Amino acid sequence: MKRTAQLLTFFAVMLLTVVAFAAEPLKIGALFSVTGPPSFLGEPERNTAQMVVDEINKSGGIKGRKLELVIYDTAGDATKSVQLANKLIKDDNVVAIIGPSTTGETMAVIPVVEKEKVPLISCAAGSKITDPVKPWVFKTAQNDGLAVAKIFENLQKNKINKVAILTVSDGFGASGREQLKIHAASYGMSLVVDDTYGPKDTDMTAQLTKIRGSEAQAIICWGTNPGPAVIAKNVKQLGIKLPLYMSHGVSSKKFIELAGDAAEGIILPSGKVIVADQLPASDPQKNSLIGYVQSYQRLYGVEGDHFGGHAWDAINLLRRAIEAGATTRETIREQIEKSSNFAGIGGVFTFSAQDHAGLTKDAFVLVRIKGGDWQALE
C-alpha cells in the first residue's frame, strides 16, 4: 500500500512537471529602432509585434504554449544591435529573432545569428540581406530590387529614359543605389546623374541644382525619413517640374506629414496595406490587410502601415512554424524555409532553400500622393 502511494505521488509530480514544462512560453526576441532616426520604422514594428503576440496569447497560445516577446530598442545603432542580439541569444535564450528595422543593423547582426544558429526574420529591405542566401536569415520587407523594377516599368510606360538618382549614404541607400544601377540597362534607363546625400543632411539644393541643369527627365530619391521629405521640399522650392519618385522607404503617412504640400504628386512603390481599401475583393491579401489596419487602428488610434506590416508577417511566419510542430531554433528555421502561399501584409510569401525573401514584384503597387493621401495607380 505504501509502495502504491509512493508511485502515485511520483507520477503526480512527474505529470505536474510535464504540464509545467509544456506550459513554458516560447521566447521570441525582437530588435526594433523604437527611438532614434528610424523610429518611424521601429515604433509601428514594436506595436504590431506586441499586438499580434497579445492576440495569440489571448486565444490560448499555440498548441497550448504562449509566446513571450522580448523587445529591445536599438535606436538604429548597428553596434547596439549586435550587443542586443547577443543578449537575446545568450541571456534570454530566444528561439528566434525578428528585426532589426534597418538594413545596416541587419547586416551587422547577420554574423551573430549565423554563428549561433538562431533564425532571424529581418524587417529591413536591402536585397543583400538574403542575397546570397544565408541559412539562418529571412526577411519580410520587400526587396529593393523589386521596388526598382516597379519604378522603371512606370518610367518606361511614360517614355522616360533619362533619370537622376539621389540616394542616402547608409545601408538602405547603398543597396537601393546598387539595384538602380544593376537594373537600369535592362529597362533602357540612362542614369544621367548619380548623387548622394547624408542621413542627417538638412538641405539638398546643391544636388538638386545639379540635377536641374542635367538632361534628367525624372528624379528617383532613395532613402528613409526625414531626408526624402527635405528633398521633396527642396524640389518645390527650386521650381523643379520633373516627376519625383520615392522608394518604399517612405511608405507611411509620416512622410506626407513631413513633406506637407510638397508631397503632392510624388509616386512610389509600396506594399498594398496603405491602399487596402482600394484593392479588389479577389486580392488574396485583402482580408489580412483590412484586419491588420483595423486592429492597429483600434489599439493605437492610427492606421497600421507598411512598416508595422513587416513585423506582422514575421510573427505570423513564426506562428505557422510553431503550429507545424517547430519549437527549437533548428526546427523553426526549417519550417520557415518551407513556408508557401502565406498571404501576409507585405505580399504572398513562398520561401525555399534558394529564396529567403519569398516575394515577387507583385508584392508592390505603385501609389501617388494626392490630396494628402494615397492613390493606387494600378
Alpha helices for 91-221 (secondary structure H): 103-116, 144-157, 171-184, 205-212
Please, which pLDDT band fits residue 306 given cuts at 50, 70 and 90? confident
Phi, psi (rounded to 5 degrees) for 367: -130, 150
The CATH classification of domain 13-144+286-360, taken from the options 3.40.190.10, 3.40.50.2300, 3.40.50.720, 3.40.640.10:
3.40.50.2300
CA gap 50, 70 in Å, rounded: 10
pTM of the complete model = 0.85
Read off the pLDDT of residues 93-123 as tens digits, 9 standing for 90 and up: 999 999 999 999 999 999 999 999 999 999 9
**Residues 295, 300, 301, 304, CA torsion sign:** negative
CA gap 333, 135 in Å, rounded: 8
Radius of gyration of the chain from its Cα atoms, rounded to whole angstroms: 23
Q: Residue 15 above 50 pLDDT? A: no
Cell of 167: 540616394
Highest mean pLDDT among 107-121, 266-280, 358-372: 107-121
Terminal alpha carbon distance of the chain: 79
Q: What is the DSSP string of 240-251?
A: --S-EEE-GGG-
Do residues 339 and 349 lie in contact, with contact meaning Cβ atoms separated by under 8 Å? yes
CA gap 26, 337 in Å, rounded: 20
- The position carrying cell 506582422 is 312
Do residues 152 and 220 lie in contact, with contact meaning Cβ atoms separated by under 8 Å? no
Task: Please report the pLDDT score of residue 361 as a whole number.
Answer: 85
Q: Which of 78, 75, 112 is nearest to 94 (CA)?
A: 112
**Non-local CB neighbours of 303 within 8 Å, separated by 6+ positions:** 253, 293, 296, 297
String of b and e for 197-208 (b: at least 16 CB within 10 Å)? Answer: bebebeebeebb
Please, which pLDDT band fits residue 7 given cuts at 50, 70 and 90? very low
Quick one: fold of 145-277+364-376?
Rossmann fold (3.40.50)
CA gap 84, 91 in Å, rounded: 10
- The position carrying cell 522650392 is 237
CA gap 33, 43 in Å, rounded: 7
Do residues 201 and 228 lie in contact, with contact meaning Cβ atoms separated by under 8 Å? no
Report DSSP state, residue 263. G
Task: Please report the pLDDT score of residue 252 as a whole number.
Answer: 87
Please, which pLDDT band fits residue 168 given cuts at 50, 70 and 90? very high
Read off the pLDDT of residues 49-77 as tens digits, 9 standing for 90 and up: 999 999 999 999 999 999 999 999 999 99
Question: Where exactly does CATH 3.40.50.2300 map onto the chain?
Answer: 13-144+286-360, 145-277+364-376
In the chain, count H helices and then E strands. Answer: 12, 14
Average pLDDT, the chain: 93
